[in-house]
Amino acid sequence: MTIPTAVLPDSGGWPRTAWALTGLAALFLTFDTVLKLARLPVAVDGTVALGYPAHLVVVIGVIELICLVLYLVPSSAVLGAVVLTGYLGGAVATHVRIGSPLPSHTLFPIYVALLVWGGLYLRDARLRELLPLQHRH
């Protein structure tokens, strides 16, 4: 018995698309991390508005930074995607709890997670083998 595998070309537009998705996710997460680590008023005010104490903004930023670094290092990218998924899931739960608008705030972390996993899926053959979306016939 053979196990079907994903069929994605290793050349052409796939690598560019993979890195574009990864780059978009990384840019957003880096921007958000820098705001938190620098304790900029927009980050502190936003954190407080979400119901967290102001002193936790740096802690949250450090957690986000660790998740991001794990994701961007190729040997730990899958682990990074998993922990980023947990981090982003917490953001969704926070927005649900305070009644944020669904498409713009509550679902935004899911959009970022889709970029994270989409980029990783397209750039990591091991992940495509584990989670084939297309099958050879």
Q: pLDDT tens digits, residue range 34-68?
A: 999 999 999 999 999 999 999 999 999 999 999 99
The pLDDT value given to residue 12:
64
Any domain includes 97? yes
The pLDDT value given to residue 114:
97
* Residue numbers of the domain that contains 95: 14-130
The pLDDT value given to residue 136:
55
Between the CA of residue 44 and those of 29, 91, 93, what are the distances in Å? 16, 15, 19
What is the C-alpha to C-alpha distance for residues 17 and 15, in angstroms, rounded to an integer? 5
The pLDDT value given to residue 14:
82
Domain tally, the chain: 1
Between the CA of residue 17 and those of 26, 101, 120, 128, 130, what are the distances in Å? 14, 30, 10, 15, 20
Any domain includes 62? yes
Any domain includes 83? yes
Closest CA to 105 of 115, 92, 116, 114: 92
Q: pLDDT tens digits, residue range 101-112?
A: 999 999 999 999
Any domain includes 136? no
Any domain includes 2? no
Any domain includes 7? no
Any domain includes 40? yes
